[in-house]
Amino acid sequence: MKRENIHILIIDDMDDMRMLLRSFLMDDGFTNVTEASDGKKGLSLIQNSVFHLVICDWNMPEMTGIELLEQVRSEERTEALPFLMVTGEANPERVKEAIVKKVNDFIIKPFQPEALTKKIVDVLTSSGRL
């Protein structure tokens, strides 16, 4: 599948981070991007649309990224949806928690655009979507 056909959902409560992620994605040819400002809005979008990848912040009000991941993994239609967690914390316990909850990968802020692209390509390739 071509990059412009990959539908990516960015979920982050920080406008600046959503804008930055969108910019990185657009620069890499991922032009089909939707945004949500919290986990509840993101979950609603996931339940009502088809996405090939979710890029989600961990710490958000309303519903955290890990709570959203649990919901996504609990539903048959979305259980295999590739999920990339973005976090500002490199705490090994949190990383372990995300792995137990079946996150596909995670990236720690701050990160370089090239590192994000590599993670996205790796996750999409391993899931057979790219």
The 10s digit of each residue's pLDDT in 11-54 is: 999 999 999 999 999 999 999 999 999 999 999 999 999 999 99
Q: How far apart are CA 6 and CA 9, in angstroms?
A: 10
Average confidence (pLDDT) over 71-97: 92
117-129 residue pLDDT tens? 999 999 999 999 9
Euclidean distance between CA atoms 62 and 71, whole angstroms: 14
Residue 18 has a pLDDT of 97
Q: State the CB neighbour count (10 A cutoff) for residue 106.
A: 19
- CA neighbor of 44 nearest in space, from 11, 80, 83: 11
Question: For the sheet containing 83-87, what is the strand order?
Answer: 32-36, 7-11, 53-57, 83-87, 105-108
Q: Looking at residues 107-115, what average pLDDT do you find?
A: 93
Residue 95 has pLDDT above 90, yes or no: no
- So where are the chain's domains? 3-126
pLDDT of residue 93: 87
On the question of pLDDT at 88 being above 90, the answer is no
Q: How confident is the model at residue 69 (pLDDT cuts 50, 70, 90)?
A: very high
**For residue 123, what pLDDT is reported?**
97
* Amino acid 12: pLDDT: 97
- pLDDT of 1 > 90? The answer is no
What sign results for the dihedral spanned by CA atoms 74, 86, 55, 104?
negative
The CATH superfamily holding the domain 3-126 is Response regulator (3.40.50.2300)
Q: What is the number of alpha carbons within 13 Å of residue 123 lying toward its C-beta?
A: 24
Would you tell me how many other CB atoms lie within 10 Å of the CB of residue 47? 12
